[in-house]
């Protein structure tokens, strides 16, 4: 099922391949993203190269990759289900068809070196025209590489449990993804879907309804940034049994979760498919938001919840 979800996620992402030379080393660093080839295939730090990187990484065990914010952000989640899940994250920020930054965080896995080295090879081969060996060596030695090493106007810094790549003209702070709808904006949709809503003492919006054997709760919280004056909203949708006498079947509950998220505009069909297959505490990116799925069972049946929030 997880493989199916990954395959669905890549619908619409073009995995580039062809006969262009991707192994030669330029005598001088190339301007990031400069290319007469519109696809960017084989070009250092191009969006096409980043797409090829995420496609290759998504085929490896434990990894799921997403066009998180089309044209702006790609992310790959490494996840191994457990009481304390193992996680790693590869983030690629884009602008104008070129890569601005790449960051890998692998400190939440048992063996960060193996994860970091595997990603480093793909980064070197895909983003830097076949320089996988050089990037792996830099990771192993926790070294840095500059434009002359990488063949383009970018630098790479490696450390014990990750790496970072920056184009020379990349902004200092990567952009966030869009926020889900605010509580005010989503209230009419919630009411049209049969929810009864009220403001809580903490300023959040709390809504609920019954649907067959399921009780559904939706809570939203708006947070205003003190630095940018923008508002981001986090939503939580949970489903549990309506009655102790009729425990909610997990498969049914997962279906309800996906349907409700789509109806409220908080995810798309790929996100609904993710909720049908995800493990407890797994995350994925859909409709430019991150979904965090969780579940547990009890004598009263299955309890499921999904957190929907801005990608930062």
Residue 118 backbone dihedrals phi, psi, to 5 degrees: -65, -45
What pTM value is reported for the model? 0.84
Answer with the residue of higher pLDDT: 299 or 221. 221
pLDDT for residue 246: 74
pLDDT at 296: 85
| Position with higher pLDDT, 241 vs 263 | 263
3-34 per-position pLDDT tens digit: 433 333 333 333 333 333 333 333 333 333 33
Summarize pLDDT for 70-123 with one digit per residue, the tens: 999 999 999 999 999 999 999 999 999 999 999 999 999 999 999 999 999 999
* pLDDT bracket for residue 230 (50, 70, 90): confident
The mean per-residue pLDDT over the stretch 206-217 comes to 94
Q: What percent of the chain has pLDDT over 90?
A: 74
Provide the H-helix boundaries in 141-193: 147-150, 183-192
Mean pLDDT highest for which of 171-175, 199-203, 242-246, 272-276? 272-276
- Grouping H, G, I as helix, E, B as strand and the rest as coil, residue 217 is strand
SS3 content of the chain, % helix, strand, coil (to 5): 25, 35, 40
pLDDT at 142: 95
Largest CA distance in the chain: 73
Q: What is the pLDDT of residue 34?
A: 34
Residue 134 predicted with pLDDT over 90: yes
Question: Which sign, positive or negative, has the C-alpha torsion 126, 130, 136, 142?
Answer: negative
The pLDDT value given to residue 67 = 97
Buried b (16+ CB within 10 A) or exposed e, 231-270: ebbbbbbbbbbbeeeebbeeebbbbbbbebbbebebbbeb
| Whether the predicted pLDDT of 165 surpasses 60 | yes
- In this structure, are residues 297 and 254 in contact, taking their beta carbons and an 8 Å threshold? no
277 and 291 Cβ atoms separated by less than 8 Å: no
């Amino acid at each position: 099922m997880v493989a199916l979800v990954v395959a669905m996620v890549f619908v619409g992402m073009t995995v580039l391949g062809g006969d262009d030379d991707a192994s030669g080393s330029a005598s001088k660093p190339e301007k990031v993203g400069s290319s007469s080839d519109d696809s960017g295939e084989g070009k250092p730090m191009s969006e096409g190269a980043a797409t090829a990187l995420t496609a290759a990484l998504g085929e490896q065990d434990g990894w799921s990759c997403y066009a998180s914010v089309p044209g702006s952000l790609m992310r790959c989640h490494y996840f191994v289900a457990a009481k304390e899940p193992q996680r790693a994250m590869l983030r690629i920020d884009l602008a104008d068809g070129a890569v601005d930054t790449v960051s890998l965080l692998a400190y939440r896995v048992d063996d960060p070196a193996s994860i970091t080295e595997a990603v480093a090879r793909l980064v070197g081969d895909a983003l830097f025209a076949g320089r996988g060996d050089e990037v792996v060596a830099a990771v192993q030695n926790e070294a840095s590489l500059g434009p002359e090493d990488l063949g383009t106007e970018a630098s790479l810094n490696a450390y014990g449990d990750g790496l970072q790549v920056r184009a020379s003209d990349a902004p200092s702070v990567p952009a966030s993804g869009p926020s889900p709808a605010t509580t005010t904006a989503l209230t009419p949709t919630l009411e049209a879907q049969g929810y009864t809503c009220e403001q809580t003492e903490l300023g959040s919006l709390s809504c609920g309804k019954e649907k067959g054997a399921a009780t559904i709760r939706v809570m939203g919280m708006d947070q205003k940034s003190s630095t940018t004056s923008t508002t981001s909203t986090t939503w939580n949708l949970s489903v549990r049994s309506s009655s102790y006498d009729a425990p909610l079947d997990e498969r049914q509950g997962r279906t309800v979760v996906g349907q409700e998220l789509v109806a409220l505009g908080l995810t798309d069909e790929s996100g609904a498919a993710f909720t049908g297959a995800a493990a407890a505490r797994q995350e994925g990116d859909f409709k430019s938001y991150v979904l965090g799925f969780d579940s547990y069972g009890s004598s009263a049946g299955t309890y499921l919840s999904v957190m929907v929030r801005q990608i930062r």
